[in-house]
Chains A and B, each alone.
Chain A
Amino acid sequence: MVIFKKFDDKAQLHTLEGVAAAALMLTVMIYIIDATSMTPLTSSSSNMHMESELGMLGQDILNNMNYAEPGYDSKLKSDIMNWNGNEYVWNGTNYAEKGAEDSGRELKNNLTDILAKVLARKAIAHNVEMTYISTSNNATYLFSKNMISNGDPSNNAIKISRKIALHDEDINSTLFPSNLIGDIDPSTNLYNIIDVKIVMWRI
């Protein structure tokens, strides 16, 4: 009589199979979430709307400053013509000269008026940059200088720009930095074209 016992000697990898399945699912999940940057806030478009609202506010500020009756200069133009070329920074109450904050020299013009009321007191940091054309050695360059500088903008900052043309007859203020912003065309009445950029970001 022969008794045979069936020995099942198949090796079972169920545990490892379970671990592998779990690792697979978790890896895929982590990868796709990283790739599509899904966060609990991503689905709400309020971030995008806040940015576009800030952009519209900047446009409205520049539109406001650019209004002029026929024969008169706009507020923005007279601000540029009375600018002395220095940089200013907001110190909580007004725009003091950068590098000489204790000197008491501050910037007070139409632009600072509106920016202080609308942006500075609502915790929206801003830089105002002037880009102008400069011709030297038969080549044309574009230079930028900040009128108001409050630091480096964040990643989601908004930049709004408006261009203004200056003419020879406008340059009569002794403050105007003619060595900085020069006449690009002495043969005609056109003096320069300035690109006023406001960069805004929430802090």
Chain B
Amino acid sequence: MKMVVSMINKMTTSKMIRNQDAQFMLLGAFIIAIGLTVVTIMLSSIIFEGNKAIMAGSDESKTDMVNVMQMAQDEIRNAYRNSTTLGGDDTINNFNIHMREFGNYMSLIYAVHGEVVTVTWEDWNDKEYAYFTDNGAVNGMPDWIVAENTQNSTIMVNITNISGPLNVNVINATKIWQKDFSFPGMSIISDDDIKANINPPYSIKFINGSNANGKYSVTGNTVYGRNFIYARDYVLNTTITFSNSKVSANVTVPISVPW
């Protein structure tokens, strides 16, 4: 009797100790769930990266920056024209006040979009007049066309310093009429002057512009009836800084005033 009982005991206890049932269904479910999560996260990263590539193609910061530069250029020219037309003793001061107000309001209106914009400029106090090259600097192109397809025009040239001959050519399809300048001073070539020597339509070209600096202005109209004005007194360097969360830029642009 005792032997039987002990045998039964052994059988039951060994069963309990060696119970190796595993719950494979739950284990399988867990493995599949983890696998799903991993795969979906990878998929979602792929989609995100694809969309980001598309979004990066059209960036708004570039157009905003170009907008700031355009506005600064127009404003400097307007401020210069306005302050010099009003005249008086305070031209540079008025110019600076105008540009300061402009800079402040620009920062305000761009701050609404989350962009920090600052505009700094220089005035023409103690500044030399621009050279007669295409961009106003001494190393710009010395021979360049100022106006084309012109019907009527008046050319004003006011030379401050000159180190070699400066020529103004009026060119039409058949003839070139050249006017030379060798000394400082103001000269005006009127419309009648030009018409007496050459027939419209013509283009006006400056030759050897790097030899002289001063002011010029060419006003008139084209053969299509459109009025134009090209003039330059100084070249003022304007610095624009632009930054938003993605990009930060600092650009210095030389701006010719008044047109």
Whether A and B touch directly in their complex, counting CB atoms under 8 A apart, is answered as yes
Q: A interface vs B, CB < 8 Å? A: 2, 4, 14, 17-18, 20-22, 24-25, 28-29, 32-33, 36, 38, 42-43, 45, 48-49, 52, 55-56, 59, 63, 66, 69-71, 131, 133, 140, 142, 161-165, 167, 184-185, 187-190, 193, 195
Quick check: B259 and A33 within 8 Å, CB to CB? no
Taking the closest CB of chain A, its distance from the CB of B111, in whole angstroms, is: 10
Query: Would you mind naming 15 contact pairs between A and B with Cβ atoms under 8 Å apart?
Result: A2-B4, A4-B8, A20-B29, A24-B29, A25-B33, A36-B41, A45-B54, A52-B57, A142-B109, A161-B113, A164-B71, A165-B74, A187-B97, A190-B75, A195-B109
Quick check: B259 and A71 within 8 Å, CB to CB? yes
The 9 A-B pairs of least Cβ separation, nearest first, read A21-B29, A28-B33, A36-B44, A188-B98, A189-B82, A52-B58, A21-B25, A48-B54, A32-B40
The one of B51, B102, B230 in contact with A190, judged by C-beta atoms closer than 8 angstroms, is: B102
Complex Cα gap A66–B68 (Å)? 13
Taking the closest CB of chain A, its distance from the CB of B24, in whole angstroms, is: 9
Complex Cα gap A66–B75 (Å)? 15
Quick check: A49 and B113 within 8 Å, CB to CB? no
Quick check: B37 and A193 within 8 Å, CB to CB? no
Complex Cα gap A55–B55 (Å)? 11
Q: Is the interface of B mostly helix, strand, loop or mixed?
A: helix
Known: A28-B33, A49-B54. A71 touches B229 (CB 8 A): yes
Quick check: A190 and B105 within 8 Å, CB to CB? yes
Known: A32-B40, A52-B54. A165 touches B71 (CB 8 A): yes
| Residues 73-109 of chain B, each 1 if its beta carbon lies under 8 Å from chain A, else 0 | 0110011001000000000001001100110011011
* Chain B residues with CB below 8 A from A2, complex form: 4
Q: Is B124 in contact with chain A by the CB < 8 A criterion?
A: no
Known: A14-B25, A17-B25, A29-B36. A70 touches B105 (CB 8 A): no
Q: Is B67 in contact with chain A by the CB < 8 A criterion?
A: yes
Q: How many A-B residue pairs have CB under 8 A?
A: 124
Complex Cα gap A149–B80 (Å)? 38
* Chain B residues with CB below 8 A from A48, complex form: 51, 54-55
Taking the closest CB of chain A, its distance from the CB of B52, in whole angstroms, is: 9
Q: How many residues of B contact A (CB 8 A)?
A: 53
Known: A28-B36, A165-B71. A131 touches B58 (CB 8 A): no
Quick check: B228 and A55 within 8 Å, CB to CB? no
Q: Is the interface of A mostly helix, strand, loop or mixed?
A: mixed
Q: Is B47 in contact with chain A by the CB < 8 A criterion?
A: yes
Complex Cα gap A91–B30 (Å)? 59
Q: Is B190 in contact with chain A by the CB < 8 A criterion?
A: no
The one of A29, A55, A63, A161 in contact with B58, judged by C-beta atoms closer than 8 angstroms, is: A55
Complex Cα gap A185–B100 (Å)? 11
Quick check: A59 and B30 within 8 Å, CB to CB? no
Quick check: A189 and B71 within 8 Å, CB to CB? no
Complex Cα gap A98–B59 (Å)? 34
Quick check: A133 and B105 within 8 Å, CB to CB? yes
* Chain B residues with CB below 8 A from A45, complex form: 47, 50-51, 53-54
| Residues 133-162 of chain B, each 1 if its beta carbon lies under 8 Å from chain A, else 0 | 000000000000000000000000000000
Taking the closest CB of chain A, its distance from the CB of B31, in whole angstroms, is: 10
Complex Cα gap A190–B70 (Å)? 16
